[in-house]
Structure formats: structure tokens, C-alpha cells
Structure 1
Amino acid sequence: MAKIITCDAHDYFEIVCMRRSQIKITTHSNKKYYGTAIDINKMNYQEVLKIQVNTQYEYEYVLLTDIKKLEAIGNKSAQHNFLIQL
């Protein structure tokens, strides 16, 4: 059976991508990713979060089902900064 995430959690991922928010992601294996949320893509029939890191053309792709914590940090508007535990 495939892992799934809640609709509420998916909405948060869409919001950070729409705003191009600065984010910090922590996976269930405690690996951390920092960068700008770009888009949600499908890879091998699974949804991944595309994160721009370091340079304009360097990206990381993280399975949405592997993410245990999403932090929107360092964004200009204080309302755009938040933390959710999945």
C-alpha cells in the first residue's frame, strides 16, 4: 500500500511553492534540506517537493511522504513563517 499525506499537509506544500518561501525540511530519517520551495512534481508515480538550493540551477527533490517537518523560515512577511509536523 502506498503512503499518503493529508489534504491539509498537501495544502501547506502548495502554499510554500506558490509563495516561493524559504524552507527547511526534515525527513523521517532526520535528513535536512534548506532552500526555496519551487514546485510539486511527480516522479515515478510519487509526488516530490522541488527545492532550489545554493544556485539558480541546483535542485533537491524530496518525497512528500518522507517529510516529517516543514518549516517556512526567514520570509519577509511574518505570517508566511510557520512550522508543521507531519
Structure 2
Amino acid sequence: MNQPTISCDLHDYLELACMHGYRVRLTLKNHQIIEGKALDTLTTAEKQEYLILGIGHEQSRVELNQLKKMEALTPNAKFKEVSF
């Protein structure tokens, strides 16, 4: 069963982070913290949505429904912090 998707307003922040290649710190609902470069978003055929992060030479997918907070680490970013 799929969880509800996030709002369009919050999607805009994710797209902005990806478009500008911001480094971000994500806090998940389970309190795990992940840092990396926002690369892209992905929606699967099952309608699950992910943020693709570049972490070193690897890429990681973070399910959007698990996001609690995203902080921009890139200086002069167009946003500082977004709560989901």
C-alpha cells in the first residue's frame, strides 16, 4: 500500500535543490541523517517517489514519504530548511 505523496509546494523545493545541485542534509522520520548532493527525483511505476542523492561516487535513493526535514548546505541557497 502506498503512502500519500508529498505536496506540490514541497516538491518544488526538491526540484530547486536538484536543479541547482545543492548539497543537502536530510532528516528522516526515523531520525536518520543523510547528506549528499541533490541530483534528481524519481517516480516508479508503483508511484513511489524518491530523491536521488550523490554521496561521494555513489548514488542513493531516499523515499520522499520518509522525509522529515531538508536543510540546504550550499551557501546562498534559495532556501535554508524545509519541513515535510
Q: Which residue of 1 aligns with 2:61?
A: 61
Identity, in percent, stands at 28
Work out which structure has the larger RCO, using CA pairs closer than 8 Å and 6 or more positions apart in sequence: 2
Q: Which amino acid aligns with 2:83?
A: Q
Q: Which residue of 2 aligns with 1:6?
A: 7
Give the unaligned 5+ runs of structure 2: none
Q: Which amino acid aligns with 2:47?
A: Y
* Residues 5 and 49, structure 2, Cα contact 8 Å, conserved in 1: no
Determine the C-alpha separation between the residues in 1 that align with 2:14 and 2:77: 15
Report the Cα offset of residue 69 of structure 1: 0.2
Q: Which residue of 1 aligns with 2:43?
A: 42
Give the unaligned 5+ runs of structure 1: none
Question: C-alpha root-mean-square deviation of aligned residues, in Å?
Answer: 1.5
User: TM-score if structure 2 supplies the norm length?
Assistant: 0.87
Q: List, as ranges, runs of 4+ consecutive aligned residues in structure 1 with deviation greater than 4 Å.
A: none
